[in-house]
Structures are given as C-alpha cells and as structure tokens.
Amino acid sequence: MAAIFAKHRLRRTCDNHRKVCTCQRYEAAYPLHVYLHVLKLCLLRDGRRSVRYRCNTVNIAQDVLYRRPGWVEAKENEDWDFIWCDLAWIRDNSNHLYMEEHVRINHFRNQFELCRKNLMVKNLKRHRKNLEKDFGHTEASKCDFFPRTFVLPNEYHLCLEEFKRTLGSTWIMKPAGKSQGKGIFLFRKLKEIMDFKKHITRSDEQRDTSQVENFVAQRYIENPYLINGRKFDLRVYVLVTSFVPLKAWLYREGFARFSNTRYSLSTIDDKYMHLTNVAIQKTAPDYDPESLYGYDILLDENLKPWLIEVNASPSYVASSREDYEMKFRLLEDTLNVIDVERRLTGKEKRVGGFDLMWNGGPVHRDDVIPATCGSSPFPSNTHLGCVNDREKQLRRLLKPIAVKRGRENIPEKRQ
C-alpha cells in the first residue's frame, strides 16, 4: 500500500504512564498496513476522531476508509461527514437528502447526464454546436473525438440516412442504460437496422411512453490500433470535484482491456473479438483478468483517441493483487483530493497520483518546454502513464492530521 503518513510521528500522552510514546517503531518494523492500523488504534484510544464515514458498498472502498487514520465508521443512528455509496442509494435518497456544508459524498446527483450513453451523446453534440455558434466551424471541428452517433428511436431517420450514405460500413448498437456489454451487437446490413426498429417499436407499444428504452447506434471504429493482433481499449480515471466552475483531476494510472481473440472484420458476431468489456471477456475459455476504469477510450491505427463512453460506477472489486493495489491507491488519493481533513491549501496542481487538468479553464504545467511543430510551450498539466511517485509527493504535501475531539471540531470550509 502507498505510504501517506509514512514518516509522520504520532505523539500521545499515555494516561497510565504519563509519558510520550510514538508509532515510529511500527513503521520501521512492520508492513505499512500494520503501521496505519496501529496509528488508527492510537487515535481511537485517545477518543479522538476527525471524520465519521458510512459505506454501503462491498469492495476496496471499505478497506480504504477503514484504514484511513482518524476516520471512524458511523453507527446506524449517527450523523456522518462522508459517505461512499452506490448509484442506487443516490437515486433513492438524493431528492430528499439534507446535508450540512462540510459533508461529502462520492456522486453528483446529475451524473447520468455524463454517464448514460444517450445523454452523453446529446451533451457532446450540444457542446459542439455551441462551439460553432460562439467560435466558428474551425473551433467546433476540434470536437471530433467521439464517433458518429445517433440516439434511437428519436433519431432513427437521421441514422438511416447516414447508414445509406456509408453502405458497407460497420455499426455498433448499444442499449443506453445498460453496462458490462449487455445487449450490444454489430451490424452492416440495412435490413438489420430496419428489423431492429420494428422490434423496439413493438416493445414500446407494450410499455408506458415514459419508459421507452433508448439505444445508441454508433459508427464502429474499424481500424483500431492492435497489440499482438488484438483489439484493446483504455480506461482512465477522472475525478470531478466541482461542475461550476468545472474542476477535474486526471489520475496517472490506468489499465488496458484486451480482447481475447485476434481482431478481424471478416466476422462481426464474435463478441470476444470486438468487445473488450471485462464482463464479456471473463466468460472466454482462456480469459486472463484485466481491469480499467472511468473513461473508455479507443485508439485507431493512426493513434487518434476516440471517447467511447463514461462509466459512473466503475468496479472496485479486485481481480488480482496488482488490481487491488492500483484501486487502493486510486481511492486513497481520491480522499486526499476531497480533503475532508482540510490539510491542503486549495492551490495544489497535484495530489498523489491526481493532476489538476481543468480549473475553470485549462491548467498548464509549471515547467515550460520549447515549442515544437506548432505546439504550445505551456503544455497541459496531464501526466497520464508517467511515473506515479505519489508516496514521495504526498509526504511533502500533506500535513499531519489534526485530530480533535468531536465532529464539531471539523474545520470550516475554506472561503
């Protein structure tokens, strides 16, 4: 595990011996998780705490919250300062939930605007249209990082026209509200999309209008970049701490998901060849577990990145030891950025493995580089795939936790 407080000495007064003692010996002699556990016990033994938390998920988040020094799991009838919950909890409670200003939660109420496939497409198209209106066609043309996409059934006729103009191309159909590869299929023939329209029309007649199921029809990236003949995609983590103004952090680590079968366009029915979802690939006979999280990005043969979709609730269940450690680091740094303990100044461009890439506008790196080939000498503050020396950086950055008695001593929100 990563060392957040690896060199932090905890001094306390022992009621029995009235002497100063330290947890430093645990750090030197035992693994870090033992040291952090002892640190937590020392805080609790003195009756001191800084944060009460709740967690309704069974995954690595529970371990991260439990091991965080100074954090105590709130009892059923107690108030809490932070909650890690699933999307179902947000859906059931967000409209009638009152939270004090200092309370933090791990989801925005309107996250579906970004993470539901049909709404993501709608918002991306709206963004591109606004760019063209405000800045012209040249600026809007830069918003070309997602494939040609239509929402069905509303845009069926537009989709049909585009399909006829590109006969022979491959398309992919996805249910807007499902995940893990459920209901996805590829198609090339006009008859297939017309039969599909008839199918969803019959289904819609059997349900209330407000419950019509939406699908997205998307041009399939036929020329993906291959490694050892296999298709893959990337998922990277983006932490958004504010929408107005927009403040977003990019994590340095991520994963690639590989298909289990060598890529070919000779067949479009092999889901192990064309879909990289872990839920699909793990059913293959010779599956080797891999995971990646957040934004799904596909590279074509020209190394152009394409945004495929955004996952609102990526899996935090580990498939391997490496997977566990990576997710633990990610969640731990998420709590560091959220900073319930108020140890940061609010001006940081980096916290652990997270780099601030947008803060009401693009964030640039501090180190200026010579401009080449028309590039800016002030590059974006993104370090995806770079060395994640988070332990060293966190030791310099984070102040020791100021642990006080009672929830009323949680510092006020910074102005």
In a domain, 358, yes or no: yes
- Residue count of the chain, please give it: 415
Q: Per residue in 2-34, pLDDT tens?
A: 333 222 323 332 333 333 333 444 444 445 455
- Of 60 and 315, the structure prediction assigns the larger pLDDT to 60
Q: Which of 64, 80, 112 is the last residue of a domain?
A: 112
Q: Reply yes or no on whether the pLDDT at 76 is more than 90.
A: no
**Domain of residue 237, residue span:** 223-402
In a domain, 156, yes or no: no
- Report CA torsion sign: 26, 75, 86, 125: negative
| pLDDT band of 206, cuts 50, 70, 90 | low
146, two tokens: 């997602």
Q: Per residue in 351-384, pLDDT tens?
A: 999 999 999 999 998 766 555 444 555 688 988 8
415, two tokens: 């102005």
Supply the DSSP string of 42-86, one letter for each residue. HHHHTT--SEEEEE---SHHHHHHHHSTTEEEPPTTS--SEEE--
Least confident of 54-68, 147-161, 201-215: 201-215
Mean pLDDT of 165-185: 79
Mean pLDDT of 79-96: 84
Q: Reply yes or no on whether the pLDDT at 309 is more than 70.
A: yes
In a domain, 117, yes or no: no
Mean pLDDT of 115-130: 91
Residue 357's pLDDT is 94
Q: Reply yes or no on whether the pLDDT at 253 is more than 50.
A: yes
In a domain, 68, yes or no: yes
290, two tokens: 């891999």
Any idea which residue has 């509303």 for tokens?
Answer: 154
In a domain, 378, yes or no: yes
Residue 177's pLDDT is 66
Supply the DSSP string of 238-263, one letter for each residue. EEEEEETTEEEEEEEEEEEEE-SS--
Q: Per residue in 287-305, pLDDT tens?
A: 454 323 378 888 999 999 9
Q: Reply yes or no on whether the pLDDT at 262 is more than 50.
A: yes
Query: Is residue 9 classed as helix, strand or coil in its secondary structure?
Result: coil
How many angstroms separate the CA atoms of 68 and 340, rounded?
A: 12
In a domain, 184, yes or no: no
One domain for residues 102 and 234: no
Q: Which residues of 129-159 are buried (b: 16+ CB within 10 A; e: fewer)?
A: eebeeeeeeeebeeeeebbebbbbbebbeeb
How many angstroms separate the CA atoms of 226 and 337, rounded?
A: 35
Q: Reply yes or no on whether the pLDDT at 327 is more than 80.
A: yes
Q: Which of 90, 112, 134 is the last residue of a domain?
A: 112
In a domain, 138, yes or no: no
Q: Reply yes or no on whether the pLDDT at 54 is more than 50.
A: yes
How many angstroms separate the CA atoms of 128 and 143, rounded?
A: 6
Count of domains observed in the chain: 2
Contacts 24+ apart (CB under 8 A), 222-226: 222/169, 222/170, 222/265, 223/300, 223/301, 223/302, 224/263, 224/298, 224/299, 224/300, 224/301, 225/299, 225/300, 225/301, 225/303, 226/263, 226/301
| Residue 105 one-letter amino acid | I
- Of 45 and 383, the structure prediction assigns the larger pLDDT to 383
Q: Per residue in 96-105, pLDDT tens?
A: 777 777 888 8
Domain of residue 296, CATH code: 3.30.470
Least confident of 275-279, 307-311, 340-344: 275-279
Mean pLDDT for all residues in the chain: 75
- Report CA torsion sign: 210, 213, 219, 224: positive
Mean pLDDT of 47-56: 76
Q: Which of 87, 112, 137 is the last residue of a domain?
A: 112
In a domain, 91, yes or no: yes
One domain for residues 244 and 369: yes
Residue 8's pLDDT is 31
How many angstroms separate the CA atoms of 137 and 162, rounded?
A: 21
